[in-house]
Amino acid sequence: MADHDNGYKLLFSHPEMMADLLRGFVHEDWVDRLDFETLEKVNASYVSDRLRDRESDLVWRVRSGSERWLYVYLLLEFQSTVDPFMALRVMTYVGLLWQDLLRQRLLTPSNKLPPVLPLVLYNGVVSWDAAQDTVELVEAVPGGLERYLPRLRYFLLDERRLGEADLESVRNVAAAVFRLEQGRRLSDVEEVLATLAAWLEGPEQAELRRALGAWLTQVLLPARLPGVAVPRIADLLEVKTMLAEHAIDWTQEWKDLGREQGLEQGREEGREEGREEGREQERREALQALQQIARESLEARFGALAPQVHEKLAAIDSIEDLGRLIARSATVSSLEELQIP
């Protein structure tokens, strides 16, 4: 999972991603008081020096009020198994962070340690069932002794257990990344990419677009399309175009993979998959996504489209024909030359 960890570390090294993660998924009142304009990443090398396995973790700080800093310790946990003693690991990491802040005299105005939110972002297939508080890891003790037990609780974000409806209602970049992770059809990815491209089209978003493009072409797409050569592209907008140009080659492979994943998920949830109506629905969704990509590609090249052009695109009922149309649209000089059927 090293590539996935590093890919996510690259993404969540951007303040916009970290702000979206907190605003979109930590539903607590104190989040509303944070000044996200002050978000800054903290050097966490002291952690990786002592605990070499945690090189993918990130530490951020953000102001809550005019004088108080809140630290967020983000742990990326993409192992295949759940660590039952994660709470103990978290307590160790937070302790090291506090020790380092004390060494640097980065205390609050009242000379106390700043608050820390430990946030575990988990992406495993198995549902997370580990204790989230260190006190739950200690054997029950006689009356009175329990008050001496160390307590530290972490916030868990179990990404694969986030519902599609919940993610769609959170309109930010972090939620879009989680939707990409959960997408089982090529059309799912194309739809989210179109949304991200619209959100991140400004020049000030270029660095985040590059990070998303690298993660998509070096981590997500190779995992979804084993055996398919995915070109390494450095910008999200170019990835969107690349998907359109390779629609014919990739659609069937993505559909086959999505069907396999759907069958496996169905076994876990007790649902029946693979019925004929489900396959037809999948084909229609892929077709609609490609029609949208075709419209956007043509508008980008030739400007606003006439109503009859929209009607012709909507009437195309073949994924293969749409793929060829999108590929040709990049080389022709006019709509007349394109000859939409």
pLDDT of residue 269: 44
Name residue 18's amino acid. M
Rounded CA-CA distance 97/103 in Å is 10
What's residue 69's pLDDT? 93
pLDDT recorded at residue 268: 44
pLDDT at 56 (0 to 100)? 64
| DSSP H/E element including 42 | strand 34-42
pLDDT for position 238: 81
Task: Give 3-state DSSP helix, strand, coil % of the chain, rounded to 5.
Answer: 60, 10, 30
Ranges of the chain whose pLDDT falls below 70: 1-5, 44-56, 80, 245-279, 281-282, 327, 330
Residue corresponding to tokens 């909507």: 314
Task: State the pLDDT at residue 304.
Answer: 86
Q: pLDDT tens for residues 58-75? A: 999 999 977 789 999 998
Apex CA 254: angle with CA 250 and CA 258, to 5°?
A: 175
* 3-state secondary structure (DSSP) of residue 175: helix
Q: What are the CB-based long-range contacts (under 8 Å, 24+) for 144-148?
A: none
CA nearest 127: which of 271, 265, 274? Answer: 265
What pLDDT score does 201 carry?
84
Residue 105's SS3 state is coil
Instruction: Look up tokens 């179109």; give the residue.
Output: 194
Select from 241, 22, 2 the least CA-distant residue to 12.
Answer: 22
Residue among 22, 315, 299 at smallest CA distance from 174: 22
Q: What angle do CA 284, 286, 292 make, to 5 degrees?
A: 100
C-alpha 101/C-alpha 95 separation (Å) is: 10
User: Of 114, 93, 90, 110, which Cα lies nearest the Cα of 102?
Assistant: 114
* Residue 280 zone, left/alpha/beta (φ > 0; ψ -120 to 50; rest): alpha
Rounded CA-CA distance 244/206 in Å is: 21
Domain edges within the chain: 2-138+147-161, 183-332
Q: What is the pTM of this model?
A: 0.70
Name which of 161, 141, 159 is nearest 150 in CA terms. 141
